[in-house]
A = this chain, B = another copy of it.
Amino acid sequence: MTKIFILGGGGMLGQKLANQLVKNASETAAELDISLFDVAFPPETLAGVTKITGNISHPAEIQKIAAQRPDIIYHLAAIVSGEAEADFDKGWQVNMFSMWALLEALRIENRESGGSYIPKIIFTSSIAVFGGPFPNKIDDEFLSAPQTSYGAQKAACELILSDFSRKGFVDGISLRLPTICVRPGKPNLAASGFFSGIIREPLNGQTASLPVPDTVRHWHASPRAGANFLIHAAKLDTNFLNNRRALNLPGVSCTIAEQIEALRKVAGQSAVDLIVPRADRAIVKIVDGWPQNFAPERALALGFKAEANFEEIIATYLEDDLPTAHSLKNL
């Protein structure tokens, strides 16, 4: 029986991951004991998993998790970038010091087990660890020079996780996720939200604002690809990482014009007509500092896979999150 914890299991990606793990397990008859840990959960219940409500910034709750000695911990819990930028204290405490507390609690379990307990830690880092100016494509040896507190916290966690792993206390890997698109559900307040919004809202018959020029290029992967990255990482033999335990992941690099063209192919001009250009200089400025393209050779060689183009990303959204979309014009 493999014991799995998903920290941040109430979030969009945590839920996708849990669903996928349950589905995979039922197909392979694997026995999984899956616990989701988060401050809150969506109302839907997911069969076969345990929900634990708690806060990773409380040391006692971290210690309780460690004491259960999970085989695999997916650590997705975080204060998002906008809030981490607005609340400096909270961002560092939750995003970095909670990672430290978690790893320290696991190190104690490792010691008490005589070194035999070495949990796998899959940590969701972010392309926010990078800051401009950027090369045409960011390669696997490009420096991490974050320009947000969120990015700095993720980069610091990578270093800490890597050192705990090098010493053999845990077996960790940091995944620098592309922007996850198309996010299902309601718009959120992330500055990156419009990348999903301009696809999701029109597919649901709603208008969507486009706050930046359509020449903006960015790096995307679907929620399904995101969940599969995490699952694939847990199966990796980390010896192949040669002690470089932070990975740039595959994704789709495209401009907003290319996103819109993909939408047109999938759902027609009437969907595209629902996108309303409405310049927002604050968002333009933020997005200007974001990576646009990668050459993630290590991750590709290690078997990580994303979509091949933005049309596939839209198709994934329709399959996974909008089954009613079969009424759409071009489907």
Q: Which residues of A contact B (CB under 8 A)?
A: 88, 131, 135, 140-147, 149, 152, 155-156, 159-160, 162-163, 166-167, 243-244, 246
Contact = CB atoms under 8 A, between A and B. Distances in A.
Contacts of A167: 88, 149
Given A88-B167, A131-B244, A167-B88, A159 B143 contact: no
A152 B160 contact: yes
A169 to B, nearest CB: 8
Contacts of A142: 141, 143
Contact of A146 (B88, B135, B147, B159): B159
Contacts of A147: 166, 243
B159 A163 contact: no
B166 A160 contact: no
A144 B144 contact: yes
A13 B234 CA distance: 45
13 contacts: A88-B167, A131-B243, A135-B141, A140-B143, A141-B142, A144-B144, A145-B246, A146-B159, A147-B166, A149-B167, A152-B162, A155-B159, A156-B160
Contact of A159 (B140, B156, B244): B156
A145 B88 contact: no
Number of copies: 2
Contacts of A145: 162, 243-244, 246
Given A141-B143, A149-B167, 10 more contacts: A131-B243, A140-B143, A143-B143, A145-B162, A145-B243, A146-B163, A147-B166, A147-B243, A152-B163, A155-B159
A246 B143 CA distance: 11
B149 A159 contact: no
Contact of A156 (B149, B156, B166): B156
A152 to B, nearest CB: 4
A201 to B, nearest CB: 34
A166 B160 CA distance: 22
Contacts of A162: 145-146, 152
A294 to B, nearest CB: 13
A144 B152 CA distance: 13
Contacts of A243: 131, 145, 147
A7 B160 CA distance: 24
A76 B160 CA distance: 21
Nearest to A243: B147
A58 B140 CA distance: 39
Contacts of A135: 141
Most buried by B among A147, A156, A166, A243: A156
A244 B140 CA distance: 19
A237 B246 CA distance: 33
A174 to B, nearest CB: 11
Given A131-B244, A156-B156, A243-B131, A163 B143 contact: no
Nearest to A107: B88
A146 B143 CA distance: 12
A159 B166 contact: no
A162 to B, nearest CB: 7
